[in-house]
Amino acid sequence: MKRFAMKIAYDGSKFYGWQIQIQSPTVQECVEKALSSIAKEKVSVIGAGRTDTGVHALAQVAHFDYPSIMKTEQMLLALRTKLPPEIQVYEINEVAPDFHARYDAKERMYEYIITLHQTPFNYNYKSYFMRKRIEVERFQACIPYFIGEHDFTSFAKPSPKVSNYLCNIHDMSVDKIDDDIVVVITANRFLHNMVRRMVGAMVAVSHKGLNPDVIKTWIDSKKHSQRNYATAPANGLYLKGVVY
């Protein structure tokens, strides 16, 4: 039995997130079924990040143990024939027996895309904030208050499985690219709904003309329930990369 790591991209529009749950389908479920079909036995897959319903991935990483002596190139080709077009596996590599896609990750990068002009073609892939004043300069002014290690309780959905809400945001950028506002955030870890709430907070600062230092006030409050800003929609969020 050898351990392998794969790099996966997926369109999350039709999935109930990455992780297997009561609701179906999920990305993890589809990948496990495909691998199990090839291996002729149950194969479990562990992902680096548990993306939510409707969230996309450009470079999710997952590991699995595989019983066959099949070469990685053969495994990749076989797997591609078993997966729906919304899931694409880019590469498969053999890794150390103790490699763990989730716990060995040092950084994760998420990208959030806001479109200033919604069309029928970007509806599922870019968020659109109708009648909201979206100004890139005001978004950028919020960045210094997010950078560094903070308790992000105020920007996370509560969970009994989470022992602490400390996250260290290493880097963050906001740029206007054509008709899009692109937010990129790199951190050691992310909490449930964290990026979407951060984007929602920046939208509130921009639209309401608030002083950007209100971000610090919201962080310091450490309250899960926030009425000051909304959680941004899932369709604009992408897991962009994982660093080991």
* 111 and 229 assigned to the same domain: yes
Domain range for 80 is: 2-94
Q: Within a domain: residue 100? A: no
pLDDT for res 235:
96
Kindly state the DSSP code that residue 27 receives in the 8-state scheme.
H
Any idea which of 63-67, 146-150, 162-166, 172-176 has the lowest mean pLDDT?
Answer: 162-166
* 87 and 116 assigned to the same domain: no
* 25 and 125 assigned to the same domain: no
Of the chain, the percentage scoring pLDDT greater than 70 comes to 100
- Report whether 201 contacts 229 (CB < 8 A): yes
CATH of the domain at 82: 3.30.70.580
Q: Which alpha helices (DSSP H) does 83-209 contain, by range?
A: 136-146, 194-208
- Report whether 86 contacts 56 (CB < 8 A): no
Q: Within a domain: residue 159? A: yes
* 230 and 175 assigned to the same domain: yes
- Of 37, 65, 94, the position where a domain reaches its end is 94
Q: Which of 227, 231, 230, 204 is nearest to 215 (CA)?
A: 204
- pLDDT, one tens digit per residue, over 68-103 is 788 999 999 999 999 999 999 999 999 999 999 999
* 148 and 231 assigned to the same domain: yes
Mean pLDDT, residues 107-121: 96
- As a whole number of Å, the CA-based R_g of the chain is 19
* 65 and 134 assigned to the same domain: no
pLDDT for res 201:
96
* 185 and 89 assigned to the same domain: no
* 118 and 217 assigned to the same domain: yes
- pLDDT, one tens digit per residue, over 196-222 is 999 999 999 999 999 999 999 999 999
* 20 and 116 assigned to the same domain: no
CATH of the domain at 168: 3.30.70.660
Which of 52, 104, 151, 178 does the annotation list as catalytic? 52
Which residues have C-beta within 8 Å of that of residue 17, sequence separation ≥ 6? Answer: 26, 27, 50, 51, 52, 53, 54, 55
Q: Within a domain: residue 168? A: yes
pLDDT for res 225:
78
* 133 and 187 assigned to the same domain: yes
pTM over 0.85: yes
Res 121 pLDDT > 90: yes
To the query of whether residue 220 is one of the catalytic residues in this protein, the response is: no
* 69 and 165 assigned to the same domain: no
